[in-house]
Amino acid sequence: MSAQTGLIWLLAAVALGLAYLSWATARRRQALQDQLQQALDGKQRLQAFLMSMSHHLRTPLNGIMGYAEYIHSSTQEPMVQFTSKIILENSVHMLHLANGLLDLSNIQEGTLQLSHASFELPDLIGSLKALHQVRADEAGIELFAMMANDTPLVMQTDPYRVRQVLNNLLDNALKFTPANGQVVLAVSPSANGRQVTFSVQDTGPGIAAELQATLFKDNISNPSRFVLRPQQGAGLGLILSHHLVRLMGGQLDFSTLAGQGSLFFFTLPLQADNPG
């Protein structure tokens, strides 16, 4: 074989190699693009699912809640009053779930609108305590609400969402705390006086180590949430609370000790940036 023939063979081999490389790269790029498209399609499908779920839950709830209220208000029979009230209370839970799905869908789409208003912290704390007192009494749990002495009285942010987050945290604390336990809602100012810290502490069992890392993660389709906590719901409230606190300019965090209890806390600016 002459040197010339050898060179031709070598060039041919290099050309073939380059052709293969470019084909493999294109193929890989296409595969990555397909994967990305699939992920986006999946997200859109989840979005559409969450939105239609909300609609499909609300329609039958209208019948359940409306007629239960009608029965409750049109009878003197104690047992009928009692049972129709139970239907109403349970459907309110379901409505909260529907609203939660709606909120989550809006957060993922970036379309959740926060309101902006001044409100009095003592009013908020007082009404939260009153709302949860009944359930605490029924469960034999001591419920405390405390404001540090130097806490500012007025705050400017989204009062509805602050209430929603604290409601979620108090709901959870009461759900997991055994009889004779304690739940403490507390508010205190930051050192510079421009922020307020809210906390909810319980004397429940603490949060299992395998759950801690994913407690605020969005992956509601992750079946382990249901497997690990079969009786305790999907944890939608915590995921939502985490997002809502972030949108209001804070960070929801927790510390927990097995057998001792959990503490959830977040700090918010006293005056949120006005969205305009």
Partner 1 sequence: MTNLKVLVVDDNQTNRLLPGLFLRALGHEVSECDSAEQALAWLADNPCDLLLLDITMPLVSGLELCHQLRAQEQLKHLRIIAYTAHALPHEVALLKGAGFDQVLLKPISSQDLREAIGS
Residue 96: both structure tokens together: 């909260």
| Minimum CB–partner distance for residue 105 and partner 1 (Å) | 8
* Binding of partner 1 by 85 (CB under 8 A): no
The number of residues in the chain equals 276
> What is the bridge-based pairing of β-strands 182-189 and 142-147?
parallel
Residue 67 interacts with partner 1 (CB under 8 A)?
yes
Nearer to partner 1, 72 or 135 (CB): 72
Residue 55 binds partner 1, judged by CB under 8 A: yes
CB 108 within 8 A of CB 47: yes
* Residue among 207, 215, 270 nearest 243 (CA): 215
**248 SS3 class:** coil
d(CA 97, CA 236): 8
Contact flag: residue 87 with partner 1 (CB under 8 A): no
Per DSSP, the three-state class of 66 is: helix
Q: Which stretch binds partner 1 (CB under 8 A): 64-72, 137-145, 232-240, 246-254?
A: 64-72
Q: Name which of 27 and 56 has its Cβ closer to partner 1.
A: 56
Q: Which of 164, 54, 42 is nearest to 101 (CA)?
A: 54
Long-range CB pairs of 94-99 (<8 Å, 24+ gap) are 94/57, 94/61, 95/57, 95/58, 95/61, 95/65, 97/57, 97/236, 98/53, 98/54, 98/57, 98/58, 98/61, 99/54
Binding-site string for partner 1 from residue 152 to residue 171, where x marks contact by CB under 8 A and - marks none: --------------------
Residues 6+ apart with CB under 8 A from 245: 165, 251, 252, 266, 268
Of 111 and 149, nearer to partner 1 (C-beta) is: 111
Least Å from the CB of residue 275 to partner 1: 14
Residue reference for tokens 């700090």: 267
Amino acid letter for position 57: L
Pick the closer one to partner 1 by CB: 74 or 224: 74
Per CB under 8 A, the segment of 21-29, 69-77, 167-175, 238-246 that binds partner 1 is 69-77
Q: How far is the CB of 59 from partner 1 (least distance, A)?
A: 5
CB of 257 to partner 1, least distance (A): 40
x/- track of binding to partner 1 for residues 91-130 (CB under 8 A):
x---x---x--x--xx----x-x-----------------
CB of 73 to partner 1, least distance (A): 7
- Among residues 64 and 215, whose Cβ is nearest to partner 1? 64
Residue with token string 């969450």: 50
Give backbone dihedrals phi and psi of 272, rounded to 5 degrees, phi first. -70, 150
Nearest to 92 by CA among 119, 131, 124: 131
Using the rule CB under 8 A, is 234 a contact of partner 1?
no
The site string for partner 1 over 8-47 (x = CB under 8 A, - otherwise) reads ----------------------------------------
Q: Are 50 and 104 in contact, with CB atoms under 8 Å apart? A: yes
Kindly list the residues in this chain that would bind partner 1 in the complex (CB under 8 A): 51, 54-56, 58-59, 61-67, 69-70, 73, 91, 95, 99, 102, 105-106, 111, 113
